[in-house]
Structure 1
Amino acid sequence: MLVLKNARLIPELTENFDKKYADVVINGELIQEIKPANSVSIPEAQVIDLEGKTLMPGLIEGHLHLDLCGKNTFEENVESDSYRIMRCLRLAQDNLKKGYTTVRDVGDRNNITIGLAKAVNEGMIMGPDILTSGIIISPTEMGNEFFGTMYTEADSPAEFTKAVRRQYQLGADWIKIMGTGAVMNPGGEPGMPIIYEEELQAACRAADYVGLPVAVHCHGTEAIKMCIRCGVRTVEHSSIMDDECIEMYKKSDRSFPMPTMSPMINFLEFPEGKPKHYIEKAERLTDTLIKGVRAYKENNIKIGWATDAGVYEGSHGNGIYEFRARVNLAGFTPLETLIQATKNNAEILMIDDKVGTVKCGKRANLVVFDGNPDEDIEVLENVSMVLKAGKIVQL
């Protein structure tokens, strides 16, 4: 048994406890009790004093790629699966050390993260909880070959149905689909839909049938509307919007935007060595992206939190870059971004019965910071301790 004494809690991220400071009792993998500070005395329990520190639910990364590390894509494509699996584990652990106790991987080569997630779930290795789609289902599109075996192509409702069933058969937690062109794809136009609505409907129907949620890569306006009409759970990036998109999001209780500000800002801030098409597309889209994220705030739309880690070097475990963008460019408060990265993501990813807040009975996936990250986002750099399923992370 573990007792975390004198912990400063964030009220908005704590359930069924109304005091600011607490003793938190952890028994096995779960939070057993939350009591007033200095009120718990359990013989033989391990006690850690958290005076001056903030205890909050573990961060949840809503969109990353453990099979990408920002190096030359063609070099990554030809590396062996065995090597990439070991690198995936290292990158997953890099995220965990920074407080990301859950990550959602939305695209790899050859479904390697499905096996990695299973190994974590079975306790074979220490890592964050991994929700994964495995490979991405895409219509035939110019530039798909740029990412090697990261895509499986489908070009009819029947083919999308079969591809969804195949990912379910292999053990995927999510279905990931390409809905528009991509910034990183040399042949892709981010604003242009590449999937027919009847194909997306078929994919969503097949996924619903086996209980899997759907995530769609989607930058453009018309494709965003298509995703909401089809009941897509998360609209990844959701960059180019009009007023109708905003109104549709406001009315929907099934579809949620998962914006990622980090990559395009990074491409512009550090263009050296990056492909020219990354920079050209980022120059066209960044202002529109920032405007869209501000619109989410102005219209009180629930959004997820994600970084697209893997698409540029050093991005894994570097979520502070996304937090800074949301605070400094989009106008969110530090507390609002922490809610997005914990409570919101848990609800959107449908894991809020287990994680996302500090609550008795929930999993003890927790992170401790020196200082008050809900007041100063830079405090997220000061990780004091991470707990995964009640165990102190030591990597």
Structure 2
Amino acid sequence: MAVVPGTRVVGSIEYLNERFAVIEPIFNKRGLNWEPANLDDYPRRGRVFWWSPQVPLSTGSVAVFELDLGKGDPDEFAARNAQLLSPVLDYRSTPYDKAIEDLTTSWSSNNRIVNGADCYALCQSDRLIGPLTPTIDDRYFFVDAQNLRLDRIPFRHSYDHVITLPDGRQYCDAASPAIGHLDCRPDGEVLRTALTHAKSIAPSILIPEFLATKKLMQAAAEALPEGDGDGDRQYKRDRLERALRICEDSDQIRSSAVELANTLINLPPLKDELDRAHDAALEKAIDDAKRAAANELAEEQAALAHLRSERDDIETQVSQAHSELRKIRTEVQTAQADVTRQLDSLESSVTNWQVPGNRSR
């Protein structure tokens, strides 16, 4: 069946300059399906002309557009309502949270990433997460977490939106809205939120120890209220299930670590090495404790010597004050004696003056 104006087409940018681009058709939309394009259906060169693209392009970029009749162009058909398709990054063997962690914490190389254009990540369980806006430096890119709401990353099912080209490259035609959201925050934040949510859903569950956290969240996942909207219910369930995986991974890591440690510690060469390390660590700890005690004793002795010096200074000052007091007392006693002698002398003089008078009478 020949294509007609209005047919939706997916094509690759074969040539471009400042004024136009030339597109090689790859797929035509037939009903709900994409079918391989027959280049004979595109007179005259098996190509489509695109005047004045208003989006960032590079050779090899993939666009989706509607066919329009050309107006004196080299090709019979021209592109209208053209948009770049977003490249899909292959994380099909990776859980969605680990894919986001990788994209937001490390630089990756992908020549399909275009500056200013979004991308998507195809993760386990056919979950297509995005759009994600990359930050590009030369041939490398990463997704800045500050540009995302990590607790609500939109997702779609891949089979509805992913277009796989003959060379294996995948692109996303995300024309319809997302079907749900995923909590892609770090493990610790998700676990705390899920635990709080689980307690609000299943408060009657007793938690005798931390390991019961997993049972609590399992019960909460089964007891999610039916009144919640389907999307919100699935969002909460996904978060609880991820929190359960975190608990299970932690249990497995803890168990494996203990088992590995018990195995290694009993190997003769390692046991001898551990014993030597233990003895060395013990000797170092004793030496450190002795040094710390000696330093503390020296500090206390220095403080005691300082106090004794201050005491001696005070005793010297007190002795000097006593000497001054004794000197003052002696001076007072001498002055009193002088006053007494002067009074006695004056009294004697008065007495002697009165005796001759008595004789004349």
Q: Would you call these one fold, judging by a TM-score over 0.5?
A: no
Q: Per residue, is there more helix in 1 or in 2?
A: 2
Higher Cα Rg, which structure: 2
